[in-house]
Structure 1
Amino acid sequence: MIEDNLDIARDIADRVERFVRDQVVPYESDPRRDHHDCPEDALITELRGKARSAGVLTPHILADGRHLSQRGTAIVLTRTGLSPLGPNACNTAAPDEGNMFLLGKVGDELIKQRFLEPLVAGRARSAFFMTEPAGEGGAGSDPMMMKTICQPDGDHWVINGRKSFITGAKGAQIGIVMAKSEEGACMFLVDLPDLAIQIERIPNTIDSSMPGGHATVKISNLRVPARQMLGEPGQGFSYAQIRLAPARLSHCMRWLGTCLRANEIATDYANRREAFGKTLIDHEGVGFMLAENMIDLKQAELMIDWCAGVLDSGEKGTRESSMAKVSVSEALMRVADRCVQVMGGLGVTSDTIVEQCFREIRAFRIYDGPTEVHKWSLAKSIKRNWKSAAS
């Protein structure tokens, strides 16, 4: 059972919200942003400097190294999500947040000092190298299909393979690479950039809140000291599971914040804009959409809190995080779509974050497992439980 430090979390969240609204939101129109927000990390460095000065950098990890409970983390990360730039500014963005959680749980002192500390301090970005190109039959939603291999060579391991949709690979200083050995999956910490890891392409994607984009990379004879393997050969999948459920839920937290802000913008517009003799909010077609948003946003908040409570109890939360991911991503998609609709032509422009919110949430329905994969997994568990009860 993890200590529930909600009073501390609420105090941190209030400070985070003030910072995001007052200091981060003005950067949403910064001309340095490109399709992946921060092309040379200059904007992130500037924002993190401001977050550090405000005392809200990596706010979910306390000064003594303790991690807030998942329920507390939800309160804080939702506030960082009030701007698409908020998670990058506060150092709560994916994949860094999930990587910090994993290394904090399973890393030894050397790993924590060399790789975790720079991440917590906001001096480095990281990438998680697991997904592989679909056309080559590699790992996607099914990590058991992994093709990247690793072989021991003296006091090193040599890794070869290709990875795709590796978020933040461009510009990252730290990588967590998954590969398959004779014993099973392995997980390695590597310094980046490395000439053995070459970025082949970075496709333009529907989302634009993750610096470095989602790269396809080729790994050619990457030599990694055995000391930089997490755990033992064959433990890679079990470590990935430690990261999996909390990382799914963190996405829900951050994008809930983004949708709360988009709904604020749409609500303000509906109460100011007049058409056909009255404000839009007074037209049932618009008012009802905003009422439905209120319902979906509360549903998402409660699902996140419920799943966070399960994780805080010490359970793995695999099924619960699947349920939360499906429920929250689908609810937030409805919210984002209605916000665009309420705002009409303005809603499809970049004059507000509403258009970006819609794109980000659409991608979220795929990232960390498409809705259909989670439903399929849940259906399998239903069948298992039925057979167990019937036997």
Structure 2
Amino acid sequence: MTSKKLVNTVAGCADDALAGLVACNPNLHLLQGHRVALRSDLDSLKGRVALLSGGGSGHEPAHAGFVGKGMLTGVIAGAVFTSPAVGSILAAIRAVAQAGTVGTLLIVKNYTGDRLNFGLAREQARAEGIPVEMVVVGDDSAFTVLKKAGRRGLCGTVLIHKVAGALAEAGVGLEEITDRVSVVAKAMGTLGVSLSSCSVPGSRPTFELSPDEVELGLGIHGEAGVRRIKMASADEIVTLMLDHMTNSSNVSHVPVQSGSSVVLMVNNLGGLSFLELGIMADAAVRSLEGRGVKIARALVGTFMSALEMPGISLTLLLVDEPLLKLIDAETTASAWPNVAKVSVTGRKRSRAAPAEPLEVPDSTATGGTELCSAGDGDCGTTHSRAARGWCQGPSRVKRGAGVEHWF
């Protein structure tokens, strides 16, 4: 059965979603005739490197949520889970070049369609005399044997947006930015897990899972993972994920070990509750610190979703102090979180509770309320307070269409 979606039309949903984001964000402009969002202060970038990224829609807040000072200059959006058109990518490159930028870096996730279309646009722009480079991000740590297409581009791509954006804002040149982010891209890994599928507007779910199964290592378009496992506790699933990501026999592993310093991203794939996200984040922090890993920064939220897929991905990026400064650099991108510029590991996380008073006042001392405080011992102080409020006499409040409630 086709899933229900709050859209106007299936064909126009990507356009409408991007238009809505731009309508509510004065820092963005649409490029007329194209599904392209650009910084509204484009002319202020004269003499600097422009950063363009993009891909299929359905991964919100990626990619347009990361456009802003200190991150991306613009993004090109395709239809849902579909690479953007070559013509629109080329139009975005031309637009930033006409604004006076000194070159453009294309940040592309490792998918065949994206590589092909961004690559073709790059060649055409170069033929027009525009300096353009391309970095392909493949941070997927799912596959133990390297596939012909290489590692898929996942949520770690957002960290590349951030690092490249900080460098561009500092006035670094195109070649140096390209070289430096290429090195950073090799120092991270991402792994996803999902409780069930998502569904593209107008379509059925992309895959089926049994009620007692979860999929490990799936892609952000619902592509198959490495295996299906039985449902387990949050701690057990996080342990399994981190074991897989850091196992040196896995060719796509991220070399995190005891003593490593990392940035941790806990990314909601779109349909996970905030309650579960917090539980998984806690499990990840405890598991990593139990392995002797220092968590320099932790980012928890929705960064690169797969529509309404209920699941998470974990990203680990190995960092040193110079790289942390780039992660910490200011940005106006709406989807980048307000991350504390201090290490997570080693920080005090609790404070002592206030001491109980030596003598608790006798609530029966107030005349006429003996029956009202009878629940204090077994129901807790909250019920006791409510009972005392009742004993002081009912008050009447009007709610709704003139309905009177007594309490």
Fold-level similarity (TM above 0.5): no
- Which interval holds the TM-score relative to the shorter structure? under 0.3
TM-score, scaled to structure 1 = 0.26
TM-score, scaled to structure 2 = 0.26
- Higher strand proportion (structure 1 or 2): 2
Structure index of larger Rg:
2
- Higher helix proportion (structure 1 or 2): 1
